[in-house]
Structure 1
Amino acid sequence: MEAIAKSNGLEPQMWSIRHQDYLSTMARRKLPSDLVEDIVQDTFLAALKAAPRFRGHSSERVWLTAILNNKITDHYRKANTQQGKLWQTAIRLSDYPAWRNLESPSNSRDDNDVMKLLYASELDTILNSGLELLCKQERKVLSMKINGCSTEEICSTLGINKLNSWVALSRARKKIRHYLNHNWYEVA
């Protein structure tokens, strides 16, 4: 470490004292709180490895912040490989006119993949927590639609007309889309 400090002005032994609070604050803005400490520590390790290449064109804090941002990006790239697909599936399904028609023979191979992703437990958990935020009628209409009920069945069961069911379904879809966008990984 002393060789690093002498060659380029970095002081790795002081990073946790000088920069950990700042980097943790920056990371909390972009990450769930349980990941912040790990990502900051990964940042320090990556900085130690990259220290011989530090040229001094920026301050130590700016350089560490850039490394932190790269670590956060790497985290989301890895995490979003499967979750990104699930998020896109949820949005796609919320706009799908006949949810049960996904398994029809006329659909492309990629629609079959959508059905596999639909049953992922994480997506199910996120969608269920989003359903709790809907008003009673929106929740009932969307739940019935997800379960394959026709508009006529929804209307007769809930005692509403078609226009009311369509409005409730449209509002529910928009709210779920907004909920997913703000409470799950933003990948779109």
Structure 2
Amino acid sequence: MRTTTKTKVQLKPELWSVQHKTYLFAMARRKLPEAAIEDVVQDTFLAALRSAPRFKGQSTERVWLTSILHHKIMDYYRKAYSRQGKVMHDALRLSDHPNWYELENQTNKPDDAEIIELLNADELISVFNSGLSVLGNREKEVLRLKMKGYSTEAICNTLDIERVNTWVALSRARKKMKSYLNENW
């Protein structure tokens, strides 16, 4: 019986720039604006140096560096669009808030104040209202009632629909609005 043992890959950071830089630049060029490529690749090398002691050697250096590069690309876009991403998240979260019209209460937490600020943002309101056109009539009505603070039971009674239908319509409305905001804002 023959047993095989895998040899652990040893890192050679001094050769990364020579062996992997061109490849990492090519990968980054597919996903990043030209101005960001060099910075993100350099961040990749720095992150790799910091995490080198935790490298288990179960993949090649190139695969490991490429994985780190992908995380750095995601970090770049998170940072670049953090305000926009937060606004979209909060806009979709509004319909989850049980009584959003009570947010002006003096005892609010800071994040509630941010939601009020977003509600008053002309751009958000404009984009959000234009997004309502992608919703079906029932989805639009359920979402509007939920945003006005109606409970599920009140929505069911007002629209004369079952509880499950309310949840389905609200879920579909949220998904469509999220998709619309991702495409248009």
Q: Is 1:134 equivalent to 2:135 in the alignment?
A: yes
In structure 1, the residue corresponding to 2:134 is in which secondary structure?
Answer: coil
Show the counterpart of 1:5: none
Q: What are the within-5 Å matches in structure 2 for residues 8-157 of structure 1?
A: 68-70=34-36, 80=81, 83-157=84-158
| Length, aligned pairs only | 130
Deviation larger for 93-102 or 166-175: 93-102
Identity level (%): 46
CA spacing shift, 1:77–1:178, aligned 2, 3 Å? closer
TM-score, structure 1 as length reference: 0.51
TM-score, structure 2 as length reference: 0.51
CA spacing shift, 1:100–1:166, aligned 2, 3 Å? farther
Show the counterpart of 1:175: 176
Show the counterpart of 2:18: none
Which blocks of at least 5 consecutive residues in structure 2 are unaligned?
Answer: 1-20, 38-76
Any conservation in 2 of the 1:95–1:173 contact (CA below 8 Å)?
A: no
In 2: Cα distance, 1:68 partner to 1:78 partner? 17
CA spacing shift, 1:91–1:156, aligned 2, 3 Å? closer
- What's the C-alpha RMSD, in Å, of the aligned pairs? 3.9
In 2: Cα distance, 1:67 partner to 1:165 partner? 43
Residue type of the alignment partner of 2:111: D
Which blocks of at least 5 consecutive residues in structure 1 are unaligned?
Answer: 1-56
CA spacing shift, 1:67–1:144, aligned 2, 3 Å? closer
In 2: Cα distance, 1:102 partner to 1:183 partner? 29
In 2: Cα distance, 1:103 partner to 1:165 partner? 27
